[in-house]
Chain A
Amino acid sequence: MFELIKARLRHGYQAIPNPLQAQINPAFPGCPFLAADADLPALAALCPTGAFSEKGLDLGKCTFCGACQRKYPEMIDFKPDFRLASDSREALYIAPGTQYQARFASPNTKLFQRSFALRNVSAGGCNACELELGASTNVNFDMGRYGIEIVASPRHADALILTGPISRSMAEALAETWKAIPAPKCLILCGCCAISGGVFAPSVQLDRSFLAHWPASIYIPGCPTHPLSIVHAIHSFMGAK
C-alpha cells in the first residue's frame, strides 16, 4: 500500500492538457512542405513506396522514412506538426510549392458530436499502428475526454478503424465485422498501410477489394500514426464545439 502511494506521488500528473494543441518534439516528421522547384523524379527515385509522382507527394503512401528529406533537405521539409489527417483521399496529395494542411471539408453531421465508439480491425497491421491506437486511450493522450472510446463489440461501434494493408486472409473477417456494425457507421483508415497498402502494396497476399465498396470518412497518415494525429483526426471529424 505505502509502496503504491510512494510510486503514485513520484509519478505525478501525466495527462497532456490539450492534445489538440500539444507541442510535439521538433524531431517529429509531420506535415511536409514541398518546394516549388522540387526535382520530383529525383525524389521519386529515393522513395520506397512510390509516394512521389508528377502530381507531387501522396501522403497516403508516405511512410515518413525521411529518405528524401535527408538527401534533399532543400526540396522537402517535414514540419513537426501532427495534424496530418484529412477526410478525403485527394486531400492527401501535396502539389509542389505547397505546405500540407489537414482538411476536414464537411465536419460530420451532428451524429457523433459528443460520443464516438470505435471498433478496431487489424488486417495485416504490424502492431505499430495498433499500439499507437491503444496509446491514444492511455493517461497521456486520453481521447476518452472527448467522448471517443474503443469498444469490444462491433454492435456497440459507430466506426470501424482499420489498421494494416488488409492481408488476404483477413478480408473476410474485416467484411464480417463491418457488416456487424449498425448504421449509421463510418470507416477510418489509420496509417499508411490501411490507406494505400504502404510497403506491402506490391504484395500478392493483399486483398483490398473491401475499400472499393466502402469509402472511408477519415484518412490518418503515418507509419505508425502518432496518437496525437489520431486524436486530432477523430476530434476534427466529430465537429464538436
Chain B
Amino acid sequence: MANPILIQSPDQLEFTTFTQKLRELMQSGYTLLHCFGSDEGLMYALLGKSGDVQLLCSTFPPGKEYSALTVDFPAFSMYERSLYEDYGIRAWGHPQLKVLKAFTDDHADHNDYNFLASESPALHEVGVGPVHAGVIEPGHFRFICRGEIVEHLEIKLGYQHRGVERLMLKGDIRTKNCLAESIAGDTSIGHALAWCLVLEGLAGTKAAGFHTRMIALELERIAMHLSVLSALSADVAYIMGQNMFAALRTTVINSSLAICGSRFGKRWLTPGGVNYSISKAQADTLSKTMEEVRIQVTDCCEALFNSSSVLSRFDDTGILKIQDALALGLTGITAKSSGIFTDARMDYPLSDEISFTALCENSGDVWARAHLRYREIIQSLDLVSRNLERLDPSAQLCVALEDFAPDSIACGIVEGYRGRIVHLCKTDPAGKPLWYKILDPSFTNWQALALVMRNGQISDFPICNKSFDLSYSGSDL
C-alpha cells in the first residue's frame, strides 16, 4: 500500500450505517487513525490495519446527538470531545464530554472550565500552570491528592491554540513550509514531511530526495530522544547524564545545520523533494560524526542504565498498562514501551526499499520509555547510515507538483519521534483545498500521562511527564 494515500471522496453514509461500520472495523482489529468533523457538515473516521486504510464519511448525526462510541471504544474519547467543541455534536454517555481548548470563536475563557472536583476533606487539589517553572510550553495540570498520593490528574490544554488548520488554507497551500514546520517546532521534519506527502498525494507526484528525507527524519528522532534522556537525567539529579546527552544532541542538530542551515531541519524539506541535498563531502562528515555519536551514546547509556540511583527512580514509576494503551489507541514511544508492536515506518512504509521492524519494551514504566529511546537512537543511527549508502548526490533535488486531483482526499502518515503523525487534505471539484486536518500523536497520548499518575507520588510527576515528552502546540494546533 502506498503512503501518501489518495482517496476519491468517499460516499456519505447514513449516520447509523457509519457508526455500525465503525464498530465492525474496530472489532475486526482496525486502529483508529483519526476522527474529525468538517465545515461541510460531515464527520470522517480514518482507520487502518496492516497496510489497509479505510476512510468512512457521514453526515452529522440527526439533531447533532448520538450515543458515544467512547463507551465501547475509548480510542474515540478525545475525538468525540473535539467534535463536541468544534461542531457542538453531543456524544451521550461520554464520561468526560468537555471542551479541550475552552474556546469559542471570539472568546477564550479558561476560568470557566469545569474541572473534576471533590468535597472530601481528606483530599486537596494542586494546580500547576499554564506558566511552568522551566522553559517549556504552557498547559495546566490539576491534581487531586490524598496526601502525597495522586488520586486523579486532569490535563487542561488549549493555551497554544494558534489556528494552524485554518491558516493552512489562507493563500497557496504549497507555500506553507514554515507553517507546517511550526505545528510543533520540535517535530519540524515529521510534520513538514506529512504535509509534503499530502500535497504530493493530491498532485500524484513522486517526490525526489527520498533518502535525504529519511536521514532528516531520523536525525530529528535521534536529537529529540537525546533531549529527553538529558531532561530525564536532570529530573533524577543525574547531572553528568544531563550534560552529556545535551552536548550529544548539540552535535546531532549541528549536523542538520551543516546541511540545511537549521538545527531543527526547518527549510530542509519541500513538496516534491528537498531544498538541500547531501553532498559527498557532507555525507562523509555526517557518517563520521554519527559513528562517534553511536560510541558516545552507548557509553553514556551504559552508565545511565547501570546507575542504581537512576534505576531506583526509573523502575516501576508511571506504569502504563498495555490494555490501557491499546484501548486508548495510543502510538509512538508511549505505546511501544508498553509492548504494543506498532510504528508507522512499519505499518505504513514510505518505500519498500529499506526494511524496518519496530522496537518494543514490556514494562511500560519510565525505565521502558527511557530505554526504548536509547535503543531507537541506535536503530536510527543504523537507518541514517543505510540511507547514506543509498544516497545519490547527483539526483534531482525536487520535482514540480502537478495540479491537485479534484474532489479527493489525500492522507500522509509519518512516524515522528513521538509517534504517528497524520495529515489529511480534501480538495473541492476545482482541485482547491477545502479543509486541512492535522493529528499529532500527543493529542491522544496525553491521556497516558493522566492515567499513570493515578496512585503515584505527586513528586513523580516531572519524570513521568518527561518520559512521555508530549507536545502542547502539536495537540492544541
For the complex, what is the distance from the CA of A131 to the CA of B167, rounded to whole Å? 24
Q: Are B162 and A205 in contact (CB under 8 A)?
A: yes
Q: Does B266 contact A (CB under 8 A)?
A: yes
Is B300's beta carbon under 8 Å from chain A?
yes
Please report the C-alpha to C-alpha distance between residue A226 and residue B131 in the assembled complex, in whole angstroms. 23
CB contact list, B299-340 vs A, under 8 A: 299-300, 302-303, 306-307
Q: Give the docked Cα–Cα distance between A53 and B295 (Å).
A: 50
Give per-residue flags for A182-199: 1 if the beta carbon is below 8 A from chain B beta carbons, else 0: 000000000001000011
| Interface: A86 (CB within 8 A) | no
Q: In the assembled complex, how far is the CB of residue A20 from the closest CB belonging to chain B, in whole angstroms?
A: 18
The smallest beta-carbon distance between A195 and chain B, in angstroms, is 14
In the complex the two chains form, is A120's CB within 8 Å of B299's CB?
A: no
A213 at the binding interface (Cβ < 8 Å): no
Interfacial residues of chain A within 93-139, with CB under 8 A of chain B in the complex: 120-135, 138-139
Is the Cβ of A128 less than 8 Å from the Cβ of B167?
Answer: no
A177 & B263 in contact (Cβ 8 Å cutoff)? no
Whether A202 lies near B267 (C-beta < 8 A) is no
Interface string of A222-235 (1 = CB under 8 A from B): 01101000000000
B:81-122 near A, CB below 8 Å: 101-103, 108, 110
With A25-B258, A127-B186 known as contacts, the answer to whether A48 contacts B177 (CB < 8 A) is yes
Complex contact A66–B299 (CB within 8 A): no
Question: Which residues of B in the span 230-259 have a Cβ within 8 Å of any Cβ on A?
Answer: 240, 243-244, 246-247, 250, 254, 257-259
CB atoms of B254 and A65 under 8 A apart: no
Chain B neighbourhood of A132, CB < 8 A:
263
User: Chain B residue with minimal CB distance to A140?
Assistant: B250
B175 touches A (CB below 8 Å): yes
CB contacts (< 8 Å) of B183 on chain A: these are 126
Q: Is the CB of A150 within 8 A of B135?
A: yes
Does any Cβ of B come within 8 Å of A90's Cβ? no
Q: Is the CB of A127 within 8 A of B472?
A: yes
Whether A128 and B138, one on each chain, are in contact in the complex, defined by CB atoms closer than 8 angstroms, is no
* Binary CB contact string for chain B from 120 to 137 against chain A (1 if under 8 A, 0 otherwise): 000000000011011111
From the candidates B137, B166, B275, B302, name the one contacting A122 in the complex (CB within 8 A): B137
Q: A203 is contacted by which of B110, B163, B177 (Cβ under 8 Å)?
A: B163
Within 8 Å CB of B166, what residues of A?
203
Check A128–B227 contact: CB distance below 8 A: no
Q: Which residues of A contact B102 (CB under 8 A)?
A: 169
Which residues of chain A have C-beta atoms less than 8 A from B101's C-beta? 169
User: Nearest chain B CB to A1's CB is how many angstroms away?
Assistant: 9
User: Does chain B have a CB within 8 A of A38?
Assistant: no
Cβ-neighbour of B299 out of A3, A27, A128, A152 (below 8 A): A3
With both beta carbons as reference points, the residue of chain A lying nearest to B167 in the complex is identified as A203
| In the complex, B277 has a CB within 8 A of chain A | no
List chain B residues, Cβ under 8 A from A164: 160
- Report the tally of A-B residue pairs with Cβ distances under 8 A: 188
| Interface check A240, CB cutoff 8 A | no
A28 contacts partner chain B, Cβ-Cβ < 8 Å = yes
Q: Does chain B have a CB within 8 A of A75?
A: no
Which residues from 1 to 32 on chain A have a C-beta closer than 8 Å to any C-beta of chain B?
3-4, 6-8, 10-11, 14, 25, 27-29
Task: From A6, A67, A206, A223, give the contact of B162 (CB < 8 A).
Answer: A206
Query: Closest CB-CB distance, B11 to chain A, in whole Å?
Result: 34
- Let me know if A11 and B244 touch, CB within 8 A: yes
Are B267's CB and A66's CB within 8 A?
yes
A127 vs B223: C-alpha distance in the bound complex, in angstroms?
14
**B176 an interface residue at 8 Å Cβ cutoff?**
yes
Given A8-B240, A139-B247, A167-B162, A134–B302 Cβ distance below 8 Å? no
- Closest approach, in angstroms, between the C-beta of A222 and any C-beta of chain B? 10
Q: B134's closest neighbor in chain A, by CB? A: A152
- CB–CB B163/A205 < 8 A: yes
A60 to chain B, nearest CB (A): 15
- The reply to whether A129 and B240 contact each other, CB–CB distance below 8 Å, is no
B136: which A residues are within 8 A, CB to CB?
122, 127, 130
CB nearest neighbor in B for A13? B247
- Cβ of A63 within 8 Å of any chain B Cβ, yes or no, is yes
Give the CA-CA distance A206 to B167 in the complex, in Å: 12
A14 to B262, CA, bound (A): 21
Indicate if the CB atoms of A4 and B131 lie closer than 8 Å.
no
Determine the chain B residues whose CB is within 8 A of the CB of A124 once the complex forms. Answer: 159-162, 473
B472 — which chain A residues lie within 8 A by C-beta? 127
A64 at the interface (CB under 8 A from B): yes
Give Cα A93–Cα B459 distance, bound, in whole angstroms: 48
CB distance A200 to B162 under 8 Å?
yes
A123 closest partner in B (C-beta): B138
Q: Bits for A42-68, please: 1 = Cβ < 8 Å to B, else 0.
A: 000000110000000000000111110
Cβ distance A68 to chain B, nearest Cβ, rounded Å: 12
Residues of chain B with a CB closer than 8 A to A134's CB: 134-135
Q: How far is the CA of A205 from the CA of B101 in the complex (A)?
A: 12
For A28, list chain B residues within 8 Å (CB).
257, 261
| CA gap between A6 and B262 in the complex, in Å | 32
The yes or no answer to B370 lying at the interface (CB within 8 A) is no
Q: Which of B133, B247, B258 has the most CB of A within 10 A?
A: B247
Closest to B248 in A: A11
Residues B182 and A126 in contact, CB atoms below 8 Å apart: yes
Further 4 A-B residue pairs, CB within 8 A, beyond A122-B136, A200-B179: A65-B177, A121-B138, A126-B186, A223-B266
25 A–B pairs (Cβ distance < 8 Å), ordered by A? A3-B299, A7-B300, A8-B244, A14-B243, A27-B258, A27-B259, A48-B178, A63-B178, A124-B160, A125-B185, A126-B185, A126-B186, A127-B185, A127-B186, A127-B472, A130-B136, A131-B186, A135-B246, A138-B250, A139-B243, A167-B161, A169-B158, A169-B159, A170-B138, A224-B185
Which A residues contact B (CB, under 8 angstroms)? 3-4, 6-8, 10-11, 14, 25, 27-29, 48-49, 63-67, 70, 120-135, 138-140, 150, 152-153, 164-165, 167-170, 173, 176-177, 193, 198-200, 202-206, 223-224, 226
Residues of B in contact with A (beta carbons under 8 Å apart)? 101-103, 108, 110, 130-131, 133-138, 158-163, 166-167, 170, 175-179, 182-186, 188, 227, 240, 243-244, 246-247, 250, 254, 257-264, 266-267, 275, 295-296, 299-300, 302-303, 306-307, 471-473, 476
